[in-house]
Each structure stands twice: as C-alpha cells, then as structure tokens.
Amino acid sequence: MNISVKGTEEYGNQSYADLFRRILVDLGLANRVEEARIVILPEKPLFLISVRTRKARTTVKLDDIASVEEKGDNTYLNITNESYAPVLLANLWKRFGRERIEQLSRLEVLCHGIKPDLLKAIELDPGQELKKELLDALWRLMPEGFKVHHTLSSETVMTIAATEHVMTDEMILMAKQMQGDMETSTITEEESMPEDEESEEEDG
Amino acid sequence: MYEVLMFDGGVYRINELYELVEDIGGFVIQKTQLQVAITVTIAIPSEDRPIIESKTKELGGKLVEVPLAGTEIAVVAPTLGRHHMPHPVCDIAEHLRRYGAITVVMGLARGKGRETAQITADEMAFIEEYDAAIFVLGNFADCIMKEKVRLFEDIEVPVIVVCGPNISSLPNCEAVVCGVGRKAERMRHADEIAKLEETALAVEAAIFKRRNIIDEDPLCVHPAEVKQRVDELESVRQSLRPSPVVLHLDGLRVKVPYDQCKDMLRDIDIFGRKLGDLTTIAPSRLGGSTMIRILTTAQLQTRDNAQSSS
C-alpha cells in the first residue's frame, strides 16, 4: 500500500500518512487499498484524498453461497460460503426485517413467510460493502470541521475534497484531476474504463 | 508546610496508617481500593515524613511522590468526536492521574473546524473552575497559531497546549508540548510516553507557579483541613459519586447539590469559625456540585474589618 501526502506542512503530512495507515489496519482494509494520495492545504483550507482499491469480488447470487430449502410457509437457508454470512444476514434483515429472519445458528437462517424464489433473486455486491468501509475510513481521517464535501467515485477509485466554507471551482478541478490520475494508473493495469458517477453533498 | 504523598500497598493493617497520619496532624485526601490493593493519598507535615516512611516499610507498601495531588485538571478536546477521543486526550488524562491529579475530560460543543472553532462563555467558566486546563489540538501549525489560539485566550487558569507541529510558544498559555497531535491508537511507545511525561512536567511547573502565587498571600485555612470537616457531613458520606470531595489549590469541589447543602456547609466549624466566614460557597457548573473557594489571609482580614465597622 502506497500512501503519499502533499501539503504545506511537513509534520501534518507525515502524521496524516501514519494516521491513515493506522485507520486502514484498524478497519481491516490495509490489503484492500492499493494506493492513496492526500493533499492537505490548511491555509485554503482544503483536504483532498483519493484512494484506489483492489477490485472487489464480483456480484454473487444467494443460490451460489447458500442452500435454499422450502419448509412449509418458511424457507430454510444453510450458508455454504461463510465469508458472505455477515453481508447476507445484513441484507436479509434490511429487506425483510429482523422479526422475519431468524438466525438459528452461525450458518443457519430461517426466513418466516418468505418464498424461496424471492430469496433466490437476491444478489450480493461485495464491492458496495468495500465502498462503505472505505468511506468510513475516510470519514475517520478527514478533519472533523470540514463539512463541505465533493465526492467522485468510480469502480475502484474514490476521491473526496473537503473544505470548511465554500467549495471553489479550483478545488473541484483539483479533485477531478486527482481522480483522473488515479484512474489512469488503474487503466494501465487493467485496460478497462471505469464508469463515472459524481455527487456533491453539503451538510452542517 | 504539608507534603502530599501517595501510599501504594495492601489493605492489611491500613488502619494503622490512617491513625498515624491523624496523630501527626495530617490528612487522608483520597483512598482508592481495588480488592486487596489500595492507594491512599495523604497530606502530612514535611518534618514527619520519616515516620510515615518507616510505617510504609513496615506495612510492605511504597511511598510515591505525587506532585499534582490536591489539584483538579481539565483536559479539553475540540469535540467529543472520535477524531480526538479516546486518544490522545484520555491518555494524557490517565497519565496525569499517576501524578496524583484528579482529571476531567471535556469536549467543546463547537470546537471543530478551523475558522469555525468556538468556545462559549459557559464553557470558559466551566474550565475556570479547575486548577489548570490542557488543550489538546491537532497537526497543523497554521490552524493552531491563527485560529485555535482564540479558544483559550480569555481563560484565567493556567493553560497548557498539547499539539503536533513544532511551535516554540503560543500566546496566553503557560507551555506548549509538541509532537503529539491526532492519534488513532494508544500512546504506548517509548517516545510517546516521553511526551506524556513532558506534558505532566509542564502541568507540574504551571501548578508550582500558581502555588507560589497563592503562597504570597496564603489561604486562611488549608483545603485539606476543610476537606476533613466536610467529609463528616452526612450528605457527603452518602454520596455515591467518585471522590465526593475534590481538593483544589485554592479550595475544593464538594459533589453535593448547592441548594440542599449550602447552609450545612456554611455552618461547619473550622477552628472556632464558620466555614461560610472563611470561604465563598457557590454552585458549581458541574451539575449537583458546590464550589468552595477559601479566602486568603488578606481577603479574610478585609472582610472581618468591613463586618466589624458596619
């Protein structure tokens, strides 16, 4: 994992590199992140971070990770691929509510009043989970008071620019350029074009 | 002159130590018992230290210097968010306890950000109830020197700033400890422990300076003497809060509600006078507590003169 920090203050640069490394280790993401570039300009103020992750596992159907068995009105699931168990449970709880999903043991789940066909249609996307976890890591790292964000994200690269008051065009341009640079290095490795999605949020 | 020390040992025959401390005219400031282990902070006359040392040896304990005993210190973070807590704020607070201080961790309501960081008058008044305040700030000199200095510019108790970048000095603070900054893990490496030590020494120096200022016009009664009398109150005995009576350099915090206990506190007899005559008793901003500030000799004389002439 390569973390590079550019900024006007040497101490801050070094400490943020260490801090990010520590946060990734804490969240178990150290081997999922390939590269991170951070720009910190406290006098503007601007905090810009771009992270490139390794490609997540492809989408899987519930059928591939668990055996599905109809038992009267209910459906019994036996999870065969343990690594998907937490994601699957979270997904089922979110979809059907906790009162209908009963976890009998670590890998056995009884779904009350749910037909197997409905369950078999469920697809799990580990990439989405990775993005969520990465976002958590970035939230932990970013200065707390920098509430105005501009986020750029593609399949493997996520870039966030954060500032305190007004997000200027110059800052957005810097973010786009950094996102482009990170994606270019992905293209040379994977020879594929990631799809772009852009969003901006402002709170506080 | 009283000397504050901490006995670290077992509960076996501990009553003998309490009796000895009382016999030589000293006070027990705080007792912390963990199963059969106990630490007792005591204030004793300096000249009687060898007697306590020999008793400690007899009981199989050890005597530790606690330069910050009898003080209550606030460790202030810009917010209570996970960016600042638990590390390094709680590490600093915990380390100061080893020096005998009672420490309180607090986060400002609007302390986050650079230009938007604020401190309210209420928060300042709250911090001023303590003997000293440690402000734990971040990693960027530009932010600290231009903006964060506003947070403590009007605070009247000694302020020590702990931050990341190397800053030689800051206005309105007693000392700056650099090389800490934001942390995502416990400060347990040798260089980090050295920084905690440096912080404790900076606090110790600030407290020593404040003690010297107080000694120029000494308090009319020692806070430990007041504590001994306050401890006997029924409402204090029944208080379940940790350390119901906390010593300060110039008074004490009693963790009983002001409205219910003010008269009882005022009527306490101290060397033939009422506590209300020797101190100012006011409600604390910490809920359900009362602040007792002891008058200095000169203040007491002025008050006595004013009362006798009227």
pLDDT at A40 over 90: yes
Number of domains observed in the structure of chain A: 2
For residue B288, what is the DSSP state?
T
Residues of A in contact with B115 (CB under 8 A): 164-165
Same domain, B196 and B271: no
3-state secondary structure of A57: coil
Q: How many domains does chain B have?
A: 3
Residues B13 and B105 in one domain: no
Residues B61 and B76 in one domain: no
φ/ψ (deg, to 5) at A43: -75, -20
The per-residue pLDDT for A197 is 43
The mean pLDDT value for A51-57 works out to 85
φ and ψ of A113, to 5 deg: 70, 25
Q: What is the pLDDT of residues B245-297, one digit of tens each?
A: 999 999 999 999 999 999 999 999 998 999 999 999 999 998 889 999 999 99
Is residue A199 predicted with pLDDT exceeding 60?
Answer: no
A126-141 vs A10-26: helix axis angle to the nearest 10? 140
Pairing of β A157-163 and β A46-53? antiparallel
Regarding beta strands A33-41 and A2-7, do their DSSP bridges make them parallel or antiparallel, or are they unpaired? parallel
Domain that holds residue B96: 72-214
Q: How many Cβ pairs within 8 Å bridge chains A and B?
A: 65
Does one domain contain both B203 and B276?
no
* Co-location of A8 and A64 in the same domain: no
Based on the fold, state whether residues B259 and B303 are members of the same structural domain: yes
A84 and A184 in a single domain? The answer is: no
Q: What percent of chain B has pLDDT over 70?
A: 100
Does position B243 have pLDDT exceeding 90, yes or no? no
Name the residue facing B114 among A19, A26, A145 (closest C-beta): A145
What integer pLDDT is reported at residue A191 of this predicted model?
45
Nearest CA in chain A to B118: A145
Distances (CA, A) of B79 to A19, B50, B111: 18, 46, 6
Q: Which pLDDT belongs to residue A202?
A: 46
In the prediction, which pLDDT does A186 show?
58
Nearest Cα to Cα of residue B162 among B153, B150, B148: B148
Nearest CA distance, A4 vs chain B (angstrom): 17
Which residues in B have their CB inside 8 Å of a CB on A?
78-79, 81-84, 112-117, 138-143, 164-166, 181-185
Q: Given pLDDT bands bounded at 50, 70 and 90, which one contains residue B239?
A: confident
Query: Domain range for residue A83?
Result: 60-124
Whether residues B140 and A165 touch (CB distance < 8 A) is answered with no
CB-based contact B139 A16, cutoff 8 Å: yes
Asked, as a colleague might, if the bond just before B283 is cis with ω within 30 of 0, I would say no
pLDDT surpassing 60 at residue A195: no
Assess whether pLDDT exceeds 70 at residue A156: yes
Please give the DSSP secondary-structure letter assigned to residue A59.
P
B-chain residue closest to A146, CA distance: B113
B172: left (phi over 0), alpha (psi -120 to 50) or beta: left
User: Which residues on chain B are in Cβ contact (under 8 Å) with A165?
Assistant: 115
* Closest residue in B to A139 (Cα–Cα): B83
On whether the CB atoms of residues B42 and B20 are closer than 8 A, the answer is no
Question: Is the bond preceding residue A45 a cis peptide, omega within 30 degrees?
Answer: yes
Instruction: Name the least confident of A15-29, A58-72, A166-180.
Output: A58-72
Residue B173's DSSP bridge partners are none
Is the pLDDT at A203 greater than 60? The verdict is no
Do residues A87 and A99 touch, judged by C-beta distance below 8 A? no
pLDDT of residue B287: 83
Based on the fold, state whether residues A198 and A135 are members of the same structural domain. Answer: yes
- CA B106 from centroid of its chain's CA atoms: 14
Beta carbons of A26 and B143 less than 8 Å apart: no
Strands A101-103 and A123-124: unpaired
In chain B, the residue whose alpha carbon lies closest to the alpha carbon of A12 is: B139
**Cβ–Cβ below 8 Å for B165 and A8:** no
A46 and A130 share one domain: yes
Is the distance from CB of A152 to CB of A175 less than 8 angstroms? Answer: yes
Name which of A15, A44, A139, A163 to mutate to probe chain B: the one with the most chain B Cβ atoms within 10 A of its Cβ: A15
- Asked whether the predicted pLDDT for residue A200 surpasses 90, the reply is no
Residue type, position A59, single letter: T
How confident is the model at residue A196, as a pLDDT? Answer: 45
Binned at pLDDT 50, 70 and 90, residue A193 comes out as: very low
Tens digit of pLDDT for each residue in B30-61? 888 889 999 999 989 889 999 999 999 999 99
Residue A194 clears pLDDT 60, i.e. is over it: no
On whether the CB atoms of residues B203 and B68 are closer than 8 A, the answer is yes
Task: Tokens for B11, please give them.
Answer: 């509960």
Task: Considering only the beta carbons, identify the residue of A9, A23, A164 that sits closest to B115.
Answer: A164
Do B243 and B183 lie in one domain? The reply is: no
Neighbours of A124 (CB within 10 A): 19
| A97 φ/ψ sector (left φ>0, alpha ψ -120 to 50, else beta) | left
The per-residue pLDDT for A128 is 81
Are A31 and A52 within one domain? yes
Q: A19, B184: Cβ pair inside 8 Å?
A: yes
Contact residues, chain A, for B81 at CB < 8 Å: 144
Q: Same structural domain for residues A170 and A182?
A: yes
Residue in A9, A22, A140 closest to B142 by CB: A9
C-alpha Rg value of chain B to the nearest Å: 20
Same domain membership, residue B298 and residue B189: no
Question: What was the pLDDT predicted at B228?
Answer: 87
The residue whose two tokens read 């973070």 is: B77
Cα-trace Rg, chain A: 21
- Whole-number pLDDT of residue B175: 95
Last residue of a domain, one of B188, B214, B240: B214
Query: Pick from A22, A26, A144: which is nearest to B83 by CB?
Result: A144
Q: What is the mean pLDDT of residues A31-60?
A: 90
A70 and A170 together in one domain: no
In this structure, the answer to whether residues B208 and B86 fall within a common structural domain is: yes
* Model pLDDT for residues A58-96, shown as the tens digit of each residue: 788 888 889 999 988 999 999 998 888 888 898 899 999
* Tens digits of residue pLDDT in B82-97: 888 889 999 999 999 9
Boundary (domain end) residue, out of A105, A124, A143: A124
A139 and A41 fall within a common domain = yes
pLDDT tens for each residue of B53-83 = 999 999 999 999 899 988 999 999 999 988 8
Asked whether the beta carbons of residue A11 and residue B182 sit closer than 8 angstroms, the reply is no
